[in-house]
Amino acid sequence: MKKKFLLTFLAISSLLVGCGEQTSISNSSSSNDIVEGDYWDVSSPDKKLNARVILQDDGSLKYSIKKNNITVIEDSTLGFSFQEANLYEMLTLENIERNEINVIYDNISGKSSQVEASCNEMKIKFKEYAFYLTVTMRAYDDGYAFKYDIESIDNAKGTFHIENELTTFTLPEDSITWNMPYKTINGKGNFFAYEEVYQRRKATNLYGRQLSMPFIYQVGDNEMYSLITESNLIGSGFYGSFLECKEDGSTALQTIHSPYKLFIAQPLLLKMILNYLIHLLLHGEWVLLDL
């Protein structure tokens, strides 16, 4: 049986900065008429990683991820539930925009003095009665990331009351995970130290546990590893998230105009350790830093 991870808030902030950035966006296209069946794909520049967003018959959204033809994330849910609207069903396609993005920047601190990377980006805007939901999915050679943007159709200003974010991460059932318990350091349950030890557990043995990010797992019995975390929290107004395994198999991240959900997928753990994808999502249009 597939397990679920419920993502909720914790108080955490971080600062990863760079300077001397150059970002180019090319081959941008937009269309109100693109209908590729009921799904849309975006692949990494090397064509080895593929991310798919699926619009189902009831207007709900799913996504899935493959790397080297290995399923990293099985069909999983996208969307939100609000008091004002349900952005998880009865959605219709509004338009699609595709971009090729190249980023070069000097790194103040980190694994290398200069970072250079490319990705393909897909922005899919869906329409509900009163709101637009845009899912931005990026595919890099060594990982993928996605986020949401929500806006009213008439550009009205106001307050959204979030009931739930329905994002799920469905792991292959025979995956092995390495996870750190998410434990409070006081009796009130509102301070967390990230000082626990990572534990090795089967994906089917996580029920009832609160787990910290980053969360690492080996994809089934393959020599493929994936890491789940967040990026671009700075300036977003949101806190970091933790994972909680639930019986029914879904995942919810409570954000709006959300930070990136970030995933690194590599055939070797060493490549994952040396990866700097989390830095890339802090640059360009996603954050403004005063240095």
Evaluate the CA torsion angle 282, 245, 78, 258 in order and state its sign: negative
Cα–Cα distance for residue pair 114/175, rounded to 1 Å: 34
Question: pTM of the prediction?
Answer: 0.78
Q: How far apart are CA 26 and CA 29, in angstroms?
A: 9
- CA–CA distance, 63 with 136 (Å, rounded to integer): 12
Distance CA 251, CA 156 (A): 30
What per-residue confidence (pLDDT) applies to 244?
A: 74
User: 24: which residues sit within 8 A by CB, 6+ positions away?
Assistant: 101, 102
pLDDT at 125: 96
Write the single-letter amino acid at 69.
Answer: N
pLDDT beneath 70: ranges in the chain: 1-37, 110, 187, 189-191, 233-240, 247-291
Q: How far apart are CA 224 and CA 262, in angstroms?
A: 16
Predicted pLDDT of residue 11 = 27
Domain range annotation of the chain:
4-286
Structure tokens at 70: 């290995």
User: C-alpha dihedral over 154, 159, 161, 164, to 10 degrees?
Assistant: 60
The alpha carbon of residue 76 and the mean position of all alpha carbons in its chain are separated, in whole angstroms, by 12
| Count of Cβ atoms closer than 10 Å to residue 14 Cβ | 11
Q: Which of 247, 230, 232, 264 is nearest to 9 (CA)?
A: 230
Of 138, 128, 147, the closest CA to residue 87 belongs to 128
Looking at residue 253, what is its pLDDT?
Answer: 27
pLDDT of residue 4: 42
pLDDT at 178: 92
CA 121 – CA 249 distance, rounded (Å)? 28
- pLDDT, residue 170, reads 83
Q: Count CA within 13 A, CB hemisphere, residue 69.
A: 0
> How many residues make up the chain in this entry?
291
Q: Are 241 and 5 in contact (CB under 8 A)?
A: no
pLDDT at 290: 33
Q: Which CATH class for the 4-286 domain?
A: mainly beta
Query: Can you give the pLDDT at residue 23?
Result: 60
